[in-house]
Amino acid sequence: MTSICFNRLGRAVVLLTALLEFSVAAQAESLSAIFTNFAPAARPAIPRRASIIFIQCDGLGYGDLSCYGQTKFQTPNLDRLAAEGIRFTNYFAAAAASSPARAALLLGKDAGHLNQRADADVPLAADDITVAQILKNSGYRTGLIGAWNLGDENSTGAPWKKGFDEFAGYLNAADAENYYADYMFRYAPGGHLNPANNQREDYLGREMLYPNTGGNRGTYIPDLLTKAALNFVKINQPDKFNQFRPFFLLLNYNIPHAGKTLQVPTDAPFSEEPWPQPEKNKAAIIARLDGYVGQLLDQLQTLGLTNNVAFFFTSDTTPKKSAAVDPDFFHSNISTNDLRVPMIVRWPGKIPAGRVSGCKWSPRDFLPTAAEIAFVNPLPVSDGISLLPVLLGQPGTTTNVVPDRMNINF
């Protein structure tokens, strides 16, 4: 099976004080430990293995970024990401719905080989092996932030049963729809103080977000998830205190997904544009997303990790027309039935800057790619093939044409 366009197949206790600002100090204590490592067990790690950050948003269109042709507004941080790495023009979502699309990424499978359905959050099975499990078993510290949709706490698909050391976010799609929710689910080994028995536990269920109780809108959930991601990277940076252990962070934003309404704190900087209000809101959310990427890039630079992090950015699904927005307004889609979405990969020192590739690939190829980045040998079985040779621009690869890939299944 040919899956890519080339000729031959080949991270001491630290407390987080910046995550949330609560009005009541006692309430803050239980959440202040979010993404805190309580003496994680030492595990041999291979020095200089790259950490991996994979960001996937929800419903971002191919034409929604200025580096992909958007002209009505700019996305400077994502443009920077593309300028410093490789921008793919033929990366396709695995499915039209988030649950199967995310499962395909995690399991390295075609949508047709999955149990997940478009109309329900179907848990991952007990025997499903995820990219997080593979990386964790090879010595990576693994974190999941954001929307999951692949199994609740009592199912075989709970994130901590699928390779994630730490989790902060929402277990199902209904919970993730509210960008001002007054709770969040969080799993962190030893990171929760149970007031009933004064014992530290891994998981207590919902953590209250008091700035959002009573209908208040004190904390915008995507902002919160970004803070958690910044903290995860800072705490788990590969250094001598962490035995130079690399990390894998999967950051699942549920934006700019358009449900019945588009929830955003402000439509700035587009308040004065002569656009319909929903489109102002969508542009503002995309600008906010662009800012999140900028914060993460700045964090990596501050920590001196720029050259040793493989940074992936994409969308799990394409935009959909709803009462909130019309994808045609910003020319989000290439065509009505096109599942093409943005994919940008940056790894300074490894991926030559400023490249554009027409290589045709999909989420199923990420698992073997991540495994090869992590020096996992042999590569795990999947429906995909490692894209690492293409990313590195190795001799014998072709990065500017669409390959003959007749067996691609979406």
Sketch out the chain's domains with CATH numbers: 25-40+48-392 (3.40.720.10)
Residues in the chain: 410
In this prediction, residues 239-251 reach a mean pLDDT of: 95
49-89 pLDDT, tens digit per residue, is: 999 999 999 999 999 999 999 999 999 999 999 999 999 99
Q: How many C-beta atoms lie closer than 10 Å to residue 366's C-beta?
A: 26
* Residue 183, beta-bridge partner list: 208
Please choose, from the candidates 148, 146, 140, the residue with its C-alpha nearest in 3D space to the C-alpha of residue 124: 148
102-143 pLDDT, tens digit per residue, is: 999 999 999 888 888 776 778 999 999 999 999 999 999 999
- pLDDT(349) > 70: yes
- pLDDT(397) > 90: no
Q: Please, which pLDDT band fits residue 386 given cuts at 50, 70 and 90?
A: very high
Q: What are the distances in angstroms from CA 154 to CA 7, 100, 150, 186, 206?
A: 45, 20, 12, 14, 14
Q: What is the pLDDT of residue 146?
A: 97
Please name the residues in contact with 258: beta carbons below 8 A apart, sequence gap of 6 or more.
59, 278, 282, 319, 320, 322, 324, 325
In this prediction, residues 218-238 reach a mean pLDDT of: 97
263-312 pLDDT, tens digit per residue, is: 999 999 999 999 999 999 999 999 999 999 999 999 999 999 999 999 99
Q: What is the DSSP letter of 308?
A: G
Report CA dihedral (397, 402, 406, 409) to the nearest 10 degrees.
100
In this prediction the pTM is 0.86
Looking up tokens 């293995």 gives: 49
Please choose, from the candidates 135, 103, 79, the residue with its C-alpha nearest in 3D space to the C-alpha of residue 344: 79
